[in-house]
Structure 1
Amino acid sequence: MSDGTTSPQAGGKSVLRKRIESVLHLMTGSFGNAVIMIGSLALATRALGPEAFGVLAMTLAVGRVCERVVRFESWQPLVRYAATEEGANDPLRMSRLYLFGLILDVVGAVVAAVLSVIIAFIITSFFDFPKEMVPLVAIYAIAIALNLRGMSSAVMRMAGMFRTMAYIVFIAGILRLILAGIFYWAGAGLMTFVWVWTISQVVDALVYNFIAFRQLHKQGTPSPLRANPSGLMKDYPGFLGFAFTTNASSALRTITHEADTLIVGAFTDSSAAGFYHLAKRMAKVAMQSGEMIQMVVYPDLARMWVGQKKKQFRKTIAGVQGLLGVILAGIFLVALVIGKQLIEFAFGPDFVASYPILMAQLVAVFLIMHSAPARSALLAMNRPRFVLISAAVSTALFLGIAFYAIPIYGAIGASFAHIGFGLLNAIVLDTAMWGSSKDLPTVEKAETS
Structure 2
Amino acid sequence: MRDWFQDRHLRSLLKNTSYLAVSKVVAGVGGLITLAFAGRSLGVAAFGILILVHSYAQAASGLTKFNSWQVVVRYGGPALREGNIPLFKRAVGFAVGLDLASGILTMAGAMLLLPFVAGVFGIPADIIPAAVAYCLLLPLMGAGAASGVLRVFDRFDLLGWQGTVTPNLRAMLAVIGWWQEWPFLAFLAIWFVSDLLGDLATWTMAWRELKRHDKLKGIRPSLDASEMDRGWQFAVSINLNSSLNTAWGPLARLLVGAVLSPAAAGLYRVASTIADAAQKPTDFLNKAFYPEVMRLDHREKAPWQLMARTMTLSALAGTAVLLIILFGGEWLLRVAFGQEFVGAYPVMVVLLGVPLLMTVTFPIPAMLHAVGKVNAPLYANMTGAFTYVALIFPLAERYGLVGAGAAFLAGRIAMMLAMAMALRRELKRIRAKA
Q: How many residues align?
A: 429
- Partners of 2:412 and 2:18 in 1: how far apart? 24
Offset at residue 255 of structure 1 (A) = 4.7
Offset at residue 148 of structure 1 (A) = 5.3
- Partners of 2:121 and 2:145 in 1: how far apart? 37
- Partners of 2:65 and 2:232 in 1: how far apart? 13
Quick one: which of 38, 49, 59 aligns to 1:44? 38
Other-structure match for 1:146: 140
TM-score scaled by length of structure 1: 0.89
The alpha-carbon distance between structure 1 residues 399 and 392, as it changes in their structure 2 partners (threshold 3 A), is same
Other-structure match for 1:378: 368
Quick one: which of 275, 282, 286 aligns to 1:283? 275
- Structure 1 residue runs without a partner (length 5+): 1-10
Other-structure match for 1:4: none
Other-structure match for 2:191: 197
After TM superposition, the structure 1 stretch with the greater mean CA deviation from structure 2, 270-279 or 74-83, is 74-83
Matched, 1:346 2:340: no
Other-structure match for 2:203: 209
Q: Secondary structure at the match of 1:235?
A: coil
Q: Secondary structure at the match of 2:45?
A: helix
Per-residue deviation, residues 373-416 of structure 1 (Å, max 9, x unmatched)? 10111122221211111111111111122122011111222211
Other-structure match for 1:56: 50
Contact residue 95 and residue 227 of structure 1 kept, 8 A: yes
Matched, 1:426 2:420: no
Offset at residue 154 of structure 1 (A) = 0.6
- Partners of 2:160 and 2:285 in 1: how far apart? 12
Offset at residue 86 of structure 1 (A) = 3.2
- Partners of 1:285 and 1:324 in 2: how far apart? 13
Matched, 1:106 2:91: no
Contact residue 96 and residue 145 of structure 2 kept, 8 A: yes
The alpha-carbon distance between structure 1 residues 127 and 194, as it changes in their structure 2 partners (threshold 3 A), is closer
- Partners of 2:7 and 2:382 in 1: how far apart? 39
Matched, 1:313 2:303: yes
Matched, 1:239 2:231: yes
Matched, 1:186 2:176: no
- Structure 2 residue runs without a partner (length 5+): none
Offset at residue 254 of structure 1 (A) = 4.2
The residue identity in structure 2 corresponding to 1:167 is W
Other-structure match for 1:260: 252
Other-structure match for 2:351: 361
Matched, 1:331 2:321: yes
- Partners of 1:34 and 1:275 in 2: how far apart? 18
Contact residue 61 and residue 261 of structure 1 kept, 8 A: yes
Q: Secondary structure at the match of 1:382?
A: coil
Other-structure match for 2:426: 436
- Partners of 1:230 and 1:269 in 2: how far apart? 43
The alpha-carbon distance between structure 1 residues 372 and 304, as it changes in their structure 2 partners (threshold 3 A), is same
Other-structure match for 1:130: 124
Matched, 1:81 2:71: no
Other-structure match for 1:69: 63
TM-score scaled by length of structure 2: 0.92
Matched, 1:404 2:398: no
Other-structure match for 1:3: none
The alpha-carbon distance between structure 1 residues 91 and 39, as it changes in their structure 2 partners (threshold 3 A), is same
After TM superposition, the structure 1 stretch with the greater mean CA deviation from structure 2, 26-35 or 118-127, is 118-127
Q: Secondary structure at the match of 2:296?
A: helix
Other-structure match for 2:404: 414
Quick one: which of 358, 375, 394 aligns to 2:384? 394
- Partners of 1:139 and 1:420 in 2: how far apart? 35
- Partners of 1:150 and 1:314 in 2: how far apart? 27
The residue identity in structure 2 corresponding to 1:393 is T
The residue identity in structure 1 corresponding to 2:378 is L
Offset at residue 440 of structure 1 (A) = 4.1
- Partners of 1:369 and 1:92 in 2: how far apart? 39
Offset at residue 357 of structure 1 (A) = 1.4
The residue identity in structure 2 corresponding to 1:251 is S
Matched, 1:156 2:150: yes
Per-residue deviation, residues 54-112 of structure 1 (Å, max 9, x unmatched)? 10111111100100111111111221112332343022321121000001011111122
The alpha-carbon distance between structure 1 residues 123 and 22, as it changes in their structure 2 partners (threshold 3 A), is same
Q: Secondary structure at the match of 1:304?
A: coil
The residue identity in structure 2 corresponding to 1:328 is G
Matched, 1:175 2:165: no
The alpha-carbon distance between structure 1 residues 231 and 363, as it changes in their structure 2 partners (threshold 3 A), is closer
Offset at residue 261 of structure 1 (A) = 0.6
Contact residue 31 and residue 285 of structure 1 kept, 8 A: no
The residue identity in structure 2 corresponding to 1:313 is P
Contact residue 120 and residue 258 of structure 2 kept, 8 A: no
